[in-house]
Amino acid sequence: MKDYYYFLGISRDASDEDIKKSYRKLSLKYHPDKNQNDDFFAERFKEIQEAYETLSDKGRRITYDQNLESLQKSFRYTVPPAIKTFSANKIHAKKGEEIIITWQTQNADVVKVLPFGLEKPYGERIFKITEFKNGKFQLLLHATNSLLHKTVVQGITITEVFESDGEKFRDRAEELFKSQPRTATNPKGQPKIFRLIFGLLILALAIYFLISSLTN
């Protein structure tokens, strides 16, 4: 049985207004039109709609709450969650290369595979890595028994590989010239190369004035 409260990120005593606000926020985030019709986002969007349609109807919500409570009482809440398997078909990959991950959990009623989100207790997912962070891509499997309030986590790290040193140099060069997110210290989102050059100029000026002061 799906936990609609978890899907909407609200508590069991959430008000009608809380349900509406959460639905509006999540439906915008996961709408397929904004995510290039990705199957993952399409599936999450359906689940969010399903949760909202049930919890926004008072009669259906009462029936759902009763069924959920009954299920939770019968759930094997004395046994902690466990991860039987969590693996990838490769742990070294190039950018854009297809990766297949599989997992299987036990005694968990809430399962997440990050960075993707909620998943079934067992399954398989195929995806492509479009961006590595410092040459690595991190996957985390969370298996939670919500009645025991216990979670187990297991991770997989995919390491980026390059066809040649030239390709590695090219990717690093592209990163230097790519616009950066706007922050308080970088309000214009200038590429790293501009800030690097500016830093070198400041350092050169500091050395020049230091030498000048020592020779006078």
pLDDT tens per residue, range 50-98: 999 999 999 999 999 888 877 766 655 567 899 999 999 999 998 889 9
- Could you give the angle at which helices 39-55 and 58-74 cross, rounded to 10 degrees? 110
The HSE-up count of residue 49 (CA atoms within 13 Å, CB side) is: 10
The HSE-up count of residue 74 (CA atoms within 13 Å, CB side) is: 7
Distance of CA 37 to the CA centre of its chain: 18
Question: For the chain, what's the residue count?
Answer: 216
Contact indicator for 23, 5 with CB cutoff of 8 Å: no
pLDDT band at 163 (very low <50, low <70, confident <90, very high): low
Q: Which fold has domain 82-160?
A: Immunoglobulin-like (2.60.40)
| pLDDT per residue as tens digits for the range 133-154 | 988 999 999 999 887 788 999 9
For the chain, the domains span 4-74, 82-160, 165-215
Q: Write down the CATH number for the domain with range 4-74.
A: 1.10.287.110
Strand (E) or helix (H) holding 92: strand 92-93
Contact indicator for 88, 103 with CB cutoff of 8 Å: no
Retrieve residue 101's tokens.
């991950």
